[in-house]
Structure 1
Amino acid sequence: MGDQPQRIDGQQGTRRPFRYFDLVMAAFVTILLLSNVIGAGKVAVLDLPSIGAWEFGAGILFFPVAYIIGDILTEVYGYAHARRCIWAGFAALLFMALMAMVVVALPPAANWGGQAAYEQVFGQVPRIVLASMIAFWAGEFANSYVMARMKVWTGGKMLWSRTIGSTVVGQGVDSALFYPIAFLGAAGWTTDLVITVALTQWALKTAWEALLTPVTYKVVGFLKKREGVDVFDTDTDFSPFAIGRK
């Protein structure tokens, strides 16, 4: 099953090839794109006991998982490796948004009747796309920073405290940026409604990630043992733009 993980302070010794890093990064980017393509466009409803009909964006099923993987990346491989994944995800989101705009705008063939449905599913409001990009970038970096700093503060103990603590901050930053940028001043969106939806989504996403803490523990334990490292960001450059430096 591999050796016990070796403590690595900063990024010294992490220039080695990892067995699973590329797979974890691929999972991170895939789930991020799915949350914006499959989940973001649908409003679902559940009939809850004592509450009744409860409407929610289907993206809540996907998007928090990206933050969980972000926690795993920072915990196992360190902030610098997580930073690379965040930029990869940002680039993928940008490319997807641009391609969606181009493909939707292309004139449809006369014998193809799916343009209206295609526009409804893949057509994107530029303001919402901008809000999503900014919120993801800031939220993920805040999440990874808090995760890395808390790991040093706790001496690598109490993993649950930093996964939940970083989620509270990261999802808080995400929601605080996305909803005002996307909807404040838009038709039908009062200031009170924007604040209510932002707080509700922040609470739900945080609770969902907290419920998945046992899964996070298992994945982190597996990866640390197989990769043989346990990175502590004691001297890491935390600038989001310091790609290629420790």
Structure 2
Amino acid sequence: MTRKHLPGILAMAAIVVASNILVQFLFGQWLTWGAFTYPLAFLVTDVMNRVYGAGPARKVVIAGFVVGVICSLIGTQIMGEYGPLVTLRIAMGSGLAFLTAQLLDVAIFDRLRQGKWWRAPLVSTLVGSSIDTALFFTIAFSDALSFLEPSNDVSWATEGLPLLGAGPIVPLWVSLGLADWLVKLSLALVALVPFRAIVAHLEGSRAAT
């Protein structure tokens, strides 16, 4: 890791910290503000992968994971209305989902990097985002994994409600996860624009030096 990789590390750290803060604030009925900042982590990973390669991209992911663990540890010490802001299950789900999804993103991007410019960032982000959402919401809120933290009452998340307010009856956490996933998919498409621009700028800067 060299000094030229520092902006990627700082960007990833900023996204992780911002998302951990903004996840405390609701946006509508199914989302939090953190849902709109967290997907930017895939943009950072993909830019690093395209410009510097898979190795530096993985190191940026590890840096983001470490920052996330620190945020989770801090969150466990802050008491909200119903207990710690970050429970053990949320910490486990967040960390495992981030690390798995981001490293998978790096691997898929690296495999597809020789194709059309949009293919690697789009496919890797779509797959990574899907895995991220499935892992986090299942680990954090599924009743089937209540043994991970028996003292944590997640009955509010397992209450049966219409899917996104209009579909079949499912646990609330399924609606939350689906809404989060749809935001990630939308931002994966939107992020192609800044991805193209940032990569062109960085590659132009490298060529000029």
* Same fold at TM > 0.5: yes
Letter aligned with residue 184 of structure 1 = S
Consecutive unaligned residues of structure 2, counting only runs of 5 or more, are 144-153, 161-169
Paired residue secondary structure (1:124): coil
Alignment deviations for residues 53-74 of structure 1 (CA, whole Å, 9 cap, x no partner): x542111121011111111111
Query: 1:190 offset after TM fit, Å?
Result: 5.2
Picking from 220, 226, 239, the partner of 2:205 is 226
> Hey, what does 1:201 align to over in structure 2?
180
Residue 85 (str. 1) matches residue 60 (str. 2): yes
Equivalence for 1:139: 101
SS at match of 2:118: helix
CA spacing shift, 1:122–1:35, aligned 2, 3 Å: farther
Per-residue CA deviation, residues 34-78 of structure 1 (Å, 9 max, x unaligned), is 1012x2111122xxxxxxxx5421111210111111111111111
Normalised to the residue count of structure 1, the TM-score between the two structures is 0.69
The amino acid across from 2:155 in the alignment is A
The structural deviation recorded for 1:196 is: 3.8
Q: Which has the larger radius of gyration?
A: 1
C-alpha contact (below 8 Å) 2:30/2:179 kept by paired residues: no
Instruction: Select the residue among 76, 99, 113 that pairs with 2:51.
Output: 76
1:169 matched to which residue of 2?
A: 127
- Where does the alignment leave 5 or more consecutive residues of structure 1 unmatched? 1-14, 46-53, 105-117, 230-246
* 1:129-187 alpha-carbon deviations (Å, 9 max, x no partner): 111111001011111111111103x1xxx221211111110001101101110111131
For these two proteins, the number of residue pairs brought into alignment is: 186
* Residues 55, 100 of structure 1: alpha-carbon distance in 2 compared, 3 angstrom cutoff: closer
Distance 1:195 1:119, change over 3 A: closer
- The 1:148/1:190 distance shift into structure 2, 3 A limit, reads farther
Partner of residue 119, structure 1: 80
RMSD of aligned alpha carbons: 2.3
Contact 2:26 2:32 in 1 (8 A): yes
**1:40 is the counterpart of 2:23:** yes
- Indicate the larger mover: 207-216 or 61-70: 207-216
Identity %: 22
Tell me how far apart the structure 2 counterparts of residues 178 and 123 of structure 1 sit (CA, whole Å): 16
Contact 1:128/1:181, CA 8 A, preserved across alignment: yes
TM-score in terms of structure 2 length: 0.80
Residue identity opposite 1:78 in structure 2: G
Give the corresponding residue for 2:141: 183
Pick the structure with more helix per residue. 2
1:197: Cα distance to partner? 3.2
Aligned partners of 2:191 and 2:62: how far apart in 1?
25
